[in-house]
Structure 1
């Protein structure tokens, strides 16, 4: 299981998600960025930043 915590990208945000699929985590995270943080354009660099912050759940603190 993999996990992503938005607060690692957007300080102060408590939202997180988990899935076996990295693609699913990225999709959910992009939806979250649009709906919660008002991002209208998601650049490739943002996708790469999300991917870089995905952790295996046993590694997550």
Structure 2
């Protein structure tokens, strides 16, 4: 599927940490392993950790 290839290409352009997170979340989304609420919570948690990490530098 062209869209999936384009998405994979964009994800691979992310910084390593974000790329890994995006791949992990995409796997869970595609597998139906997480509810929308759980996915949103993981994204919020990662954003929080990233922002706090940047603030502590």
TM-score, with structure 2 as normaliser: 0.38
TM-score, with structure 1 as normaliser: 0.37
Q: Which has the larger radius of gyration?
A: 2
Question: Which of 1 and 2 has higher RCO (CA within 8 Å, sep 6+)?
Answer: 1
The structure with more helix, counted as a fraction of residues: 2
